[in-house]
Structures are given as structure tokens and as C-alpha cells.
Amino acid sequence: MTAPLPPTTPDVPDTSLAEEEVVTLASELIRIDTTNTGDPDTVVGERAAAEYVAEKLAEVGYETTYVESGAPGRGNVVARLAGSDPSRGALLVHGHLDVVPADASEWSVHPFSGAVQDGYVWGRGAVDMKDMVAMSLALARRLKRDGIQPKRDIIFAFLADEEAGGHYGAQWLVENRPDLFEGATEAISEVGGFSITVKDGVRAYLIETAEKGIAWMTLRARGRAGHGSMVHDDNAVTKLTEAVTRLGTHRFPIVLTDSVRDFLHGISDITGFTVDEDDLEGSVAKLGNIARMIGATLRDTANPTMLKAGYKSNVIPSVAEATVDCRILPGRQEAFERELDEILGPDIEREWVGLPPLETTFDGALVDHMTASILAEDPGAKALPYMLSGGTDAKSFAQLGIRCFGYAPLRLPADLDFSALFHGVDERVPVDALQFGTRVLDRFLRNC
């Protein structure tokens, strides 16, 4: 005689309410226009979004801290949920509330409508990153409401100004209010945890373990001012544009970093596609939509983006300036600068602002929990590390010694060009991906 099956009562209440809420929260957050133009005078909505989040947290019993970071209206909200084991480091779950601008005339739906239709939540911020903000908020509420105590403290942070570098958000808080992140050893946030379909329906979930560094460089050439009608051999505009042309057409060498190598070999294990280390660009080109993202992590880049010189047609200016958006691989800063010396020559002055690259390893207990939580909801899938060519608030939190990951889980349709949705027209997120992510993150936050 077979023994009776044990009762199937789950040990914790299910996530159905959080899965319902996450859709409403994402939609309502999108309806709060939080456009960050990069010009502090024209930024809108961050305070309203922060107040909305604070109210949703207070409603279930959180004490929240509201901080304006460096200027009026730059709202941030932080709340902490105490864990059962104070000996363990806290986990920071952070998300930014601001979005990049959107031109409504280009969209199928209004970008701040938060429309829920055709199985998607539509609008600016749907994937960058009000999706993860909504998942975090839904789960912060769920854990509190259901009286679930995680093992470690969880710090939920909802932040301003990521889209313009975090000077009025994460970076300001790191410099001025590090007490809010006391005890945090690891963090999760955006641009990781989403799926790509690699072969015969097999999904790989890309967990971000590295980011290229950002260096916004001003180049300056000086010459002799003079009349535009004269013979003149010391022209700042000419000197500058020659240097900018050399730099803009230069290709930096391909460098295979650990994160990119692990990613490519992981893909190779699933698909059987061979990674040709002598032709990495050719190998990456076979990856489909994701090739655009991965291709940018094979080498440093330096793209000229702005030029400034002169004030009148017949006056040769004494100074000309250019801005170059440089993205540098982990470990490449010195080599990159040596290459710049050669390309630009001694007469071009340079100034930098930016933040260094990040890279961590794809191992340890937290990574195991991230992987297991995905596999529990999508058996047969794989989790792989990858490097983001852009930057996030993780760069700021890394300055506090926090080990940062991109982990905002979404199970995506095979044919969705996900990376094109970031800052793109008709940005949208599948409703069932939000609900999937909520289940994955619930398991992760309860156990990690």
C-alpha cells in the first residue's frame, strides 16, 4: 500500500495578488510622466512618482524615508524590511523612477497612457524601468502584507535621475546619505534577468555581471584668433576636427573579457554554435537581435556626439570643443588612454567625467539563488552572465563596496526585439512577463 501524499498546503501564501497588482502598478507608474531631459530645470514628475511609491509602501505598514537629492523635486524613497538573520548582509533592490523623453507623435499609443492592451503594458518606462519598479513594489507590499520575513534585510530604493547619470539620484545618495544603504553587500536592479530564445525554444536568461565604464570626454583645441578673410595656419576648428575624425573612425582592438567569454561559451553549450576566438565579431553576428548588445561589449568605443566652436562667420575662434562618448571595457582604462594619446596627439586637451566599469564573477550563493529562482519558473532554461555596454545606477552603488547585478526577470516572447525597446518607440512589456518576474523575484527575495 502506498503512503498517502503529504498535504499540499504551500508554506507561504501564493503570489496571485502581487501578480495582479504588478500590472496596475506598472501602468499607474507609466501614467506619471517622469521625463528626465538631462536639464535639471525641465525634469518633471519624480516627486509625484516617489510620493506614489511611498504611499503604496506606507499603506501596508512600511516606514519610508523620502529624500530630495540635491535639488527640489528630485524625489527618492527608501524603505527597509528586516530579515531574520542579522549576521547576513542586506540586499539592495533599486530602481529608477525617471524615464527618457518620448515624442507622442511617433507612438501607436500615448507614451504616458500606461495602456494595458494586446497582452502588453505600453508606455515610456515599460522596460526602462517601471517594470522592475512595479515588481519590486508589488513584492515589498506582498512580503509585508503576508507577514513573510526574508532571511536578510532587504532595502528597497526608488530613485531619481538615473537617465542623466544619477547626480541628482543614486550618486548623490551614495555621497550624502550612505547611511540609507548601511549593511548592504549585494544589489539587484535593471538590464538583466530577461530571456532570449536561443534554440528550439530554449531560453537563456542574461544576468548582468558587468558594465562598461562611461567616460564623457571634452576635447579642446586652441589656436590663434583672427579674421576669416586672411591666410591663417593656426585654426582651432581645423585642429579639432582633424583629431575628432581620427578618433571617430578609429576601431579599438577586440578584447575578450571574462563576462563576455562566459556568455559566449554558455550560448555555445546550448546551441552547439562554435565561438571562433579569431573572429569574435563574426561569431556574435550570428546571435540575432542580441548581437547589437553583445557586439558593443567586445571593444572600447569613442563616438563623437557634440561640437562647439565660433560665434561669427568671419571670425576664426581661438578655441574649439568636441564631446566624445567613450565606453571602456573593464581593465582597459590605461590602454585606452595610451591609444588616445596616439590618436589625438599632444595639442588636444582633454577632460573627463564619468564612472568606471564594473565586473563581478558569476558565482556564489546569490548567483545560485538567482539561477534557481528562474529555473523553478522556467525549467529547462539556462542562466548566463553578460556585460551591459551601457551604464546604470549600479556604478554608483559599487562605490559603497556593494556587489551589483542586473536581475529584473522577464520571460519574453522569442520574436520580441527587447533591446530595441529601451528608449525606443512603442516601449512595452508583456503582462505575463511581469507576472513571471514577480513570481521569480518572490522566490528569490524570500530565500536569498
Interacting residues with Zn ion (CB under 5 A): 128-129, 190
* Orientation of helix 431-447 relative to helix 130-145, angle to 10°: 50
| All residues at 6 or more sequence positions from 200 whose CB lies less than 8 Å from its CB, including other chains | none
Q: To the nearest whole angstrom, how small is the minimum distance from the Cβ of residue 129 to Zn ion? A: 4
Q: Is 393:213 a contact under the CB 8 Å cutoff? A: no
Contact 59, 79 (CB under 8 A): no
Residue closer to Zn ion by CB (options 216, 422) is 422
Q: How far is the CB of 446 from Zn ion (least distance, A)?
A: 26
Minimum distance of Zn ion from residue 128's CB (angstroms): 4
Query: Closest separation between CB of residue 431 and Zn ion, Å?
Result: 20
Q: How far is the CB of 189 from Zn ion (least distance, A)?
A: 8
Nearest Cα neighbor of 98 from 62, 138, 128, 66 is 128
Tell me which H or E stretch contains 148.
none
Which residue's CB is nearer to Zn ion, number 97 or number 129? 129
CB burial string 279-313: b at 16+ within 10 A, e below = ebeebbeebeebeebbebbbbbbbebeeeebeeee
Q: How far is the CB of 440 from Zn ion (least distance, A)?
A: 19
> What is the spatial order of strands in the sheet that 213-222 belongs to?
301-309, 319-328, 213-222, 349-355
With contact defined as beta carbons under 8 Å apart, do 397 and 173 qualify? no
Measured distance CA(429)–CA(418) in Å, rounded: 9
> Nearest residue by C-beta to Zn ion?
128
Specify the residue, 133 or 384, whose C-beta has the smaller distance to Zn ion: 133
The CB-of-423 to Zn ion minimum distance in angstroms stands at 9
Least gap, CB of 416 to Zn ion (angstroms): 18
Q: Which is nearer to Zn ion, 125 or 150 (CB)?
A: 125
In whole angstroms, the minimum distance from the beta carbon of 39 to Zn ion comes to 18
Closer Cβ to Zn ion, 129 or 387, answer by number: 129
> Measured from the CB atom, is 190 or 211 closer to Zn ion?
190
Tell me whether residue 19 or residue 190 sits nearer to Zn ion (CB atom): 190
Q: CB 236: neighbour CB atoms within 10 A?
A: 22
Which CB atom, from 115 or from 129, has the smaller least distance to Zn ion?
129
User: Other CB atoms closer than 10 Å to residue 80's CB: what's the count?
Assistant: 21
Instruction: Please state, in angstroms and rounded to a whole number, the distance separating the CA atoms of residues 265 and 274.
Output: 8
Grid cell in block for residue 366 = 546569490
Please tell me the total number of residues recorded for the chain in this structure. Answer: 448
Neighbours of 323 (CB within 10 A): 15
Q: Which three cell numbers stand for residue 313?
A: 562667420
184 forms beta bridges with 90
Q: In the complex, what is the shortest distance from the CB of residue 80 to Zn ion, in angstroms, rounded to a whole number? A: 23
CB closer to Zn ion out of 341 and 417: 417
Type and span of the H or E element at 59: helix 46-59
Alpha helices of 214-290 — where are they, by DSSP H?
236-249, 258-271, 280-285
Smallest gap from residue 76 Cβ to Zn ion (A): 15
Nearer to Zn ion, 129 or 236 (CB): 129
Burial 358-373 (b: 16+ CB within 10 A, else e): bbbebeeebbebbbeb
Residue among 169 and 266 whose Cβ is closer to Zn ion: 169
